[in-house]
Every structure is written in structure tokens, then in C-alpha cells.
């Protein structure tokens, strides 16, 4: 759950910017949860004005669920020519092809001029490794129960 703000105010963004282009990157929920929990524990304490009353696990599970329920309700408001949905897996496994696809499908200008910079950036990230997380069976069951609608929508499994 990177920046959730655009997802939570999609209709407002469309009202303010009717021709806006939207790129939605989805990721396996079984990878999203531990990554978000790590970020929550590391970053959120810097922003607290007081101790939260809700546990991080509950907060993450509920926020993701509400965010995607709202997203699925409102994404149909975006004109098809202004919206592309890609998987995090495609972006990480074939970054250049995925970025080219984004430019092409959204009819964005500047790909030819940016092509070499994009390739250079991708090359600079070649040694980056995603953190490995292990989930307990109980946590996997909880994620499946709470986030089943996104898991089913994108065809994810615990192993994908």
C-alpha cells in the first residue's frame, strides 16, 4: 500500500482533473501485508501525535479492504483511455516493456526522448532485492479472509 491517497479520492481527482491519466499497480496481497507492516512500524511512529488505539495489523487489514472496496466502486468512472492497470510483478520482471506499455496505452508523449534515461535507471536498480517476509499460517488465513476480493480479482495465491 504505497500512496493510498489517490485511490481514496478518485472521484474528486476526476472532478478536478477530468483528463487525468491513472496508472494502478497491483501487487500480491500476501506480499503487500508484510511490506506494509514493516513500513508502518518503521515510519508511522514519526507521525503520531498520540499512541494509536488500533493495532497495526488491524489497521492495515481494514485500510486495505476499505481502500480497494472504494477503488473497485469508482475505477469505472475513469475513461478507459485514461486508465491502465499493471502488476508489480510485470513491472519488476519486465520494467522497460511495462513502462513502454504504459506510455503506449495512455498515449503519453515523450517515450522516445526518455527511453535511454529509463533504461539507465532500470540498470541502476539491477541489484535491488525485494525484502523476503514469512507469514504464519494464521496470518495467511486472515489475509485470505479479509482481502479475498482482491486476491480473486487479480488471480493471486500465496505463492504467486
In angstroms, the CA 33 to CA 35 distance is 5
DSSP conformation class of 18: T
Residue range 92-102, pLDDT digits in tens: 999 999 999 99
Is the Cβ–Cβ distance between 64 and 142 less than 8 Å? no
In angstroms, the CA 65 to CA 146 distance is 7
Domains and CATH numbers, the chain: 5-154 (3.40.50.300)
**Counting beta carbons within 10 angstroms of the beta carbon of residue 33, is it exposed (0 to 12), middle (13 to 18) or buried (19 or more)?**
buried
pTM over 0.75: yes
Model confidence band, residue 7 (pLDDT cutoffs 50, 70, 90): low
In angstroms, the CA 148 to CA 142 distance is 10
Amino acid at each position: 500500500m504505497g500512496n493510498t491517497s489517490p485511490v481514496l479520492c478518485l472521484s474528486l481527482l476526476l472532478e478536478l482533473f477530468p483528463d487525468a491519466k491513472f496508472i494502478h499497480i497491483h501487487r500480491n496481497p500476501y506480499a503487500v501485508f508484510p511490506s506494509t507492516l514493516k513500513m508502518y512500524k518503521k515510519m508511522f511512529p514519526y507521525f503520531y501525535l498520540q499512541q494509536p488505539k488500533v493495532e497495526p495489523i488491524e489497521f492495515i487489514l481494514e485500510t486495505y479492504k476499505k481502500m480497494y472496496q472504494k477503488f473497485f466502486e469508482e475505477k469505472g468512472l475513469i475513461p478507459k483511455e485514461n486508465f491502465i492497470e499493471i502488476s508489480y510483478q510485470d513491472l519488476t520482471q519486465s520494467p522497460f516493456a511495462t513502462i513502454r506499455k504504459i506510455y503506449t496505452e495512455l498515449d503519453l508523449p515523450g517515450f522516445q526522448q526518455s527511453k535511454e534515461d529509463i533504461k539507465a535507471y532500470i540498470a541502476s536498480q539491477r541489484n535491488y532485492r525485494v525484502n523476503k517476509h514469512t507469514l504464519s499460517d494464521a496470518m495467511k488465513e486472515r489475509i485470505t479472509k479479509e482481502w479475498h476480493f482482491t486476491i480473486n480479482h487479480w488471480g493471486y495465491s500465496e505463492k504467486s
